[in-house]
Amino acid sequence: MLVQEMIELATQYGRYGYRRITAMLRHRGWKVNHKRIERMWRREGLKVPSKQPKRRRLWLNDGSCVRLRPSGKNHVWSYDFVHSRTHDGRAFRILNIIDEFTRECLAIKVARKLQSKDVLEALGKLFIHRGIPGYIRSDNGSEFIAVKLREWLQKLGVKTLYIEPGSPWENGYIESFNGKMRDELLNLEIFDTLREVEVLCEWWRQGYNTVRPHSSLGYRPPVPEAVRPRPLAVVPLRSPPAVDLTQILT
């Protein structure tokens, strides 16, 4: 039964390694450690993804770190674009917005073209529902450094953090997220229409936030699904007791 469930999860989430599958099995109630799952994983011939090389943090020559690390929810957000194409060869863009502290993907916006006004619109909706962050980190793309966008953020008290040109590692959280999206969704799906991209991206976002175990969060998803209440017991209806009408009428 355990092997069957492990294979089922590995099939459904083809880019997850045995550690992440172990976390998902634990969430399902199995009391197992990652070493046991690794043995079963190898025995069943499942491929373990190679480990990513470690990266150094960004340091200046004087040894000080220039990267502002998030200290709480809504402290630092990041956003960036991902590019891909539908099956007919037409390009489309995806705007991803995440909270660096919680690792939650706050929004995904899909369109053939995305400009600074679209970025402003996406942020405006999030500010209403999520609150205003202290900082927003991005590259120096024209959509992010537009005067109207910067003036609007300044009025709201949001500080902008721009990375050095050609240094994507300075925006590591969103770059990591973009890589996962490409690896687990964009490289695996054939998109015929833009609407299909929107639906699948939102489906993947929900799974990323509520189901997918995140290694930096102790293999828990950023926003775990609430525990579902048990269904109410069905109580059979009892027939009402027989009533002697003669006693009521007299």
**What is the per-residue pLDDT for 238?**
52
Q: What is the pTM of this model?
A: 0.67
**What is the per-residue pLDDT for 45?**
64
Query: What is the average pLDDT value for the chain, to the nearest integer?
Result: 81
Q: Strands 135-138 and 105-111, how do they pair?
A: unpaired
Q: Is the pLDDT of residue 139 over 70?
A: yes
Q: Is the pLDDT of residue 48 over 70?
A: no
Q: Is the pLDDT of residue 228 over 60?
A: no
The residue ranges of every structural domain in the chain are 1-44, 76-217
Q: Is the pLDDT of residue 61 over 60?
A: no
For residues 54-81, give the mean pLDDT: 68
pLDDT tens track for 72-115: 999 999 999 999 999 999 999 999 999 999 999 999 999 999 99
**What is the per-residue pLDDT for 28?**
80
For residues 13-39, give the mean pLDDT: 80
Write down the architecture of domain 76-217 according to CATH.
2-Layer Sandwich (3.30)
For residues 196-213, give the mean pLDDT: 93
**What is the per-residue pLDDT for 62?**
37
Share of the chain above pLDDT 90, in %: 48
Q: Is the pLDDT of residue 244 over 60?
A: no
Q: Is the pLDDT of residue 165 over 60?
A: yes
For residues 31-52, give the mean pLDDT: 69
Lowest mean pLDDT among 118-132, 160-174, 218-232: 218-232
